[in-house]
Structure 1
């Protein structure tokens, strides 16, 4: 009997119907959470931050940042930190594409106007040593969540107008901010040498776990999202990997967040 060589249908790419509204919405879940928690419909800060490593959240908590009274999420806590004349709603430990977008849906449904993700990332580009910051302008879609928001393509792209404003602000302030592509993966412990070399050959600078999905969400929903990465490691292959600097990088991170917010959210 001849082997069946027909490629099986891949569920990830099947029956997506991108122009159809979801039955389950963030607004519905927030309404239920507020009812159960007996919370009023208080908006979250205009600027919210996803902090996958949790270092910024812990810094804010050590310095007395209060819990956000309007954040009704079942899965996370948001604290409110005032810095440089701006108020940031910070959510820690939002690791991975699915979790990041689950939270992105909810922050915008709760009053957010700008979402910034600041993740740590592994270095793909062979030049320079970490830690340093990177502005992700596009992300390789090697994860699953983005395909629920946009049809298949190789990259998800940041809003071009926001990228331009941030680059201009960084140059004016004398801030060294690398700009380029990242590889978004769902499986960090499957970053093989062959995969790393393929990403490097494509001009990718770093590997992380959220940007492609967040940019796909932003494009599909028309929301304002920016993804930053702090290049902190070479996949644990060298001594001293994953170091971020003073306060686990929180001071430098806050300064960068202030610059980004000031450039796109006057």
Structure 2
């Protein structure tokens, strides 16, 4: 019998409920003036980046963000304004926010999320540019027909490869496993992931990549491998300032690598506004 999750999925049919409409009503109800978000936005599921920047006085609330469920902050990295949303944990929440951000003017979305080590790439912490994500969650199946993996778009992949020499910790490339249930990472599931050559387990990338392909939006996801699932004490150490220095260096490098894409996106929108 076909699972209920896979029934009645008309992938080419538009949704009745649209992020633009939600944002319109949120602006009306909360008396928020119309305005765009920064072209580059970062999802920070752990919230460490946002908390660190706020404590340092480097993050301000964006005045035009109407999202019901989140607060959008903005900071400046190497002269560029970046939007940040913290604690959007899990596939469905991450995609809900991604839909809203692109509807509000985002042109490039990055995600840097903590991840557990599967196939070791050295001692944590380090980053993995997620090229493919195992679809062990529900949200991606609302955007793309069933398949084992969701993938980083080839255009972004080509831009990002070899762009991280200035990041203080290693940046690898490879596969992740996206799960909805982190406390069901059994020995059997881990062994199967290891057989697939999966480097890390996280909770957002497969859904974000399925959304990105369906909506033709540029999204790149990074796993910040910080732990070995706490099977021993002393795990989950991200490094200096909870890994914020390294994550911001990664964000800067990724943004620089996509500079020409941002220009192309902006030019396209100016010529053919939606």
Task: Sort the TM-score into its range (normalised by shorter chain).
Answer: over 0.9
Rounded to whole Å, the distance in 2 between the matches of 1:175 and 1:92 is: 22
CA change 1:124–1:247 in 2 (3 A) is: same
Q: 2:67 aligns with which of 67, 73, 78?
A: 73
Instruction: Tell me by how many angstroms 1:127 deviates.
Output: 4.4
Q: Does 1:147 align with 2:136?
A: no
Cα distance in structure 1, aligned partners of 2:165 and 2:252: 15
- Whether the aligned pair in 1 keeps the contact of 2:168 and 2:246 (CA below 8 Å) is no
Q: CA deviation at 1:174?
A: 9.0
Q: For residues 160-183 of structure 1, give each alpha carbon's deviation from its aligned partner in whole angstroms, at most 9, with x where no partner exists.
A: 121121113225889731000000
TM alignment of 1:219-234, pairs within 5 A: 219-234=213-228
Matches within 5 A, 1:1-266: 7=1, 9-64=2-57, 65-171=59-165, 176-266=170-260
Aligned residues: 259
What's the secondary structure of 2:198's corresponding residue? coil
Runs of 4+ in 1 over 6 A off after TM superposition: 172-175
Q: Given that residues 95 and 210 in structure 1 are in contact (C-alpha distance below 8 angstroms), is that contact kept between their aligned partners in structure 2? A: yes
Aligned residues of 1:132 and 1:231 also touching (Cα < 8 A): yes
Q: TM-score, normalised by structure 2?
A: 0.92
Gaps of at least 5 residues in structure 1 are 1-6
User: Is contact 1:86–1:258 with CA below 8 Å preserved after alignment?
Assistant: no
Question: TM-score normalised to the size of structure 1?
Answer: 0.94
Residues 48, 115 of structure 1: 8 Å contact kept = yes
CA–CA distance in 2 between the matches of 1:56 and 1:166?
21
Contact preservation (8 Å) 1:181, 1:205: yes
Report the secondary structure of 1:239's partner residue: coil
